[in-house]
Amino acid sequence: MDKLRQVQQYLDDKAKKKVDPHYIEVPEKPWRVILRYKENMVDVDYSQSIDIPAGNEHSDWNLNFEPPVASSVGFWVGYRGTGFSYSKSLTKNAGRYYSFSSTGAKYGINFRLRRFNTEDAKFSSTDRNLETGVETEYDTAFSMPSPVWIRSVYINGYYVFNGHRYSQAAAYNQSVIQRRSAGSFLLGATWYQSSFDYSDIKNAVFMIIGHGIYRAKVHQANIGVGYGYNWVPLRGLVVNVMAMPTISVYNRVKAYKYETNYDLSPKEPFDNYGDWNRETRRWANGKTHKPLLMITQDSDIQLDYWDIEPEVDYSMFRLNLDLRLGIAYNWRNCFIGAQAQYNNFNYKNDHCKVNIYDAYARLSFGVRL
């Protein structure tokens, strides 16, 4: 117990030593318990371009996954600027969400993990006839034959240049109280990795028109410089705005692919393909692929698929964005707050482009112990 008290005393002294008490107050009670209600939104845009010999067309198509807004309730428990949170989803099939955060006078670290699946999708395309140049647009909402799994991991750290007068934590986890208005430049770094997976063969049509891709994983490192400002219009109330554009300095995309025995070649007048041989991977007429357009309601569908070598691509300098808004009010040993954050991540390779939009809004009530 003595060692624990020594650690606590060290954290207390460190928290008070690096701030200007005229601008930032370090509460005497170090423990905080916070109840939270949160709404989280994720939007995934998956775009591809493909030539369709069957119709002598070029198609630019987009598949959008936008699951319902995920509502959750949870708690946060922590000592000074370090704590752990857990939330329970109130929305069916919204998946799981975990987070961890730690803040100091000069730094902040945030970790978020989310995994969910959805069948809700929107498909849109612009098809251009290569002979006539005529374009046709198509747009529809539908349910995927089998769910798409999406997973994201977000790790963010930032350094506050004016940490003795400005506190990012004052509006977001209330480990300290901002007493006077102040701002600061921030240096930030983010590690983001995500994946989406629709590998169930029920989604074969999208694999065929998507160059065989059924799963993609991205690892992305970003750095950026931003600015945050705390406005204190009256005692106990703080309003924070922070904006940080970032540039990816490491961007790795790994696309997992299937090869199938159907393709987008022109429809033939006679069906002489016969049965598919899984050992030789050929149709009875000796061909390796059958036109997808020859499948009818009365067809004997003999779909076969197998893994081929994944593609790994590296790219640089993708522009992303981190926006945050926080409001907090403190009285006695209690506080309430509202926070919102928006992140945009994008990546691409030779065949596809993916944009991920991740945002949340949160209400909280807490007490200091």
Specify whether 169 is located in the same domain as 277. no
What pLDDT does 47 receive? 87
Residues 160 and 123 in one domain: yes
User: Same structural domain for residues 206 and 320?
Assistant: yes
Of 252, 281, 302, the position where a domain reaches its end is: 302
Q: Judge whether 169 and 163 are in contact, CB under 8 Å.
A: no
CATH number, domain at 53? 2.40.128
- DSSP for residue 266: P
Q: 92 and 133 share a domain?
A: yes
Tell me, yes or no, whether 132 and 273 share the same domain.
no
pLDDT in tens, 46-96: 888 888 776 678 888 888 887 778 888 989 998 887 778 888 888 776 667
Average pLDDT, rounded, for the chain: 87
Contact in structure between 315 and 218 (CB atoms under 8 Å):
no
Do 163 and 142 share a structural domain? Answer: yes
Let me know whether 219 and 319 are in one domain.
yes
Give residues with Cβ within 8 angstroms of 10, minimum separation 6: none
Got the DSSP string for 52-97? EGGGTEEEEEEEEE-PPPEEEEEEEEEETTEEEEEEEE-STT--EE
Confidence band for 238, pLDDT divided at 50, 70 and 90: very high
Does residue 225 sit in the same domain as residue 155? yes
Residue 340 belongs to what H/E stretch? Answer: strand 334-348
Half-sphere CA count of 80, side-chain side, radius 13 A: 16
Q: Read off the pLDDT of each residue in 317-339 and give the average, rounded to a whole number.
A: 93
Q: Say yes or no: 154 and 228 in one domain.
A: yes
- pLDDT at residue 286 above 70? yes
pLDDT tens track for 152-193: 899 999 999 999 999 998 998 888 999 999 999 999 999 999
Question: Mean per-residue pLDDT for 316-341?
Answer: 92
302, 323, 351 — which closes off a domain?
Answer: 302
- pLDDT at residue 118 greater than cutoff 90: no
Collapse the DSSP code of 204 into the 3-class scheme (helix H, G, I; strand E, B; otherwise coil) and give the result: helix
Residue 155: its pLDDT value, please?
95
Domain range spanning residue 276? 263-302
Same domain? 60 vs 138: yes
The domain total for the chain is: 2
Assess whether 346 and 241 both reside in one domain.
Answer: yes
181 against 316, higher pLDDT: 181
Whether 6 shows a pLDDT value over 80: the answer reads no
Residue 365 has pLDDT above 90, yes or no: yes
Same domain, 13 and 157: yes
For residue 115, report the phi and psi dihedrals to the nearest 5 degrees: -140, 130
Mean pLDDT of 224-242: 97
Q: What is the rounded distance in angstroms from the CA atom of residue 329 to the CA atom of residue 326?
A: 10
pLDDT in tens, 91-113: 776 667 777 878 877 888 989 88
